[in-house]
Amino acid sequence: MLGLKNRRPGEIRAAVEFDRLHPWFTWVRDYLRACAGSRKLPGRADIDPMCFRPNLNLVNLVDVVHEDGRVRFRFRLVGTTQTEMAEREITGRFVEDAVLPAYVARINSNMRAVVENGMPVYDRFPMPHPEREFLDSERVYFPLASDGETVDMILIACAYPSMPEMAPKAAIDPLAGFG
């Protein structure tokens, strides 16, 4: 999945290469797998926010909203680092109202892929907010499903590779304390 920095919306996505990303992303993947138990996907109710405590500031939750025969995405929770880096609050906004128009199709495409495939999607592109495009940002979009099957929420784990001071905290053993 790396190397698709300049990918256009709708281009083929490869499986996320977690071994090439910051351990934070692998920790999130493993934690969510543990939360799912015997189901295909975990739901929001299965997640303990305290387990994310060292990096909760790098987590966004997005509602999958079905209306008028289409799917839209609304930011339910936006981590404090994301808000600070964007220099604006986007909680409660739909993607098309939250980011620069040049990024709407790409971000919606990533989220649609998560909903349709029930698999994580990685992407890396400049911060999609006014006068913040100089910031390099990466994220993995993870599916959540309250029924264990149908994606109704997306957890986005974010990072800023060019800013070591914003790096996620050391990965935690994903099985320690789960249960």
37 within a domain of the structure (yes/no): yes
**Phi then psi dihedrals of residue 158, to 5 deg:** -115, 160
6 within a domain of the structure (yes/no): no
In this prediction, residue 82 carries a pLDDT of 79
> Residue 178 CB: number of other CB atoms within 10 A?
14
44 within a domain of the structure (yes/no): yes
pLDDT digits (tens, 9 = 90+) for 30-56: 999 999 999 999 999 999 998 988 898
Pairwise CA distance, residues 178 & 176, whole Å = 6
CB 51 within 8 A of CB 31: yes
Pairwise CA distance, residues 168 & 179, whole Å = 23
Give the residue ranges of the chain where pLDDT is below 70.
1-14, 126-134, 170-179
178 within a domain of the structure (yes/no): no
Kindly report the CATH number assigned to the domain that includes residue 75.
3.30.450.20
**Overall number of domains in the chain:** 1
Q: What is the pTM of this model?
A: 0.85
3-state secondary structure of 86: helix
In this prediction, residue 177 carries a pLDDT of 46
In this prediction, residue 71 carries a pLDDT of 96
**Phi then psi dihedrals of residue 105, to 5 deg:** -60, -40
1 within a domain of the structure (yes/no): no
Q: Look at strands 153-159 and 136-144 and give their pairing.
A: antiparallel
CA angle at residue 153 from 137 to 134, to 5 degrees?
A: 15
CB 77 within 8 A of CB 63: no
12 within a domain of the structure (yes/no): no
169 within a domain of the structure (yes/no): no
Q: Which residues constitute the domain of residue 144?
A: 18-164
13 within a domain of the structure (yes/no): no
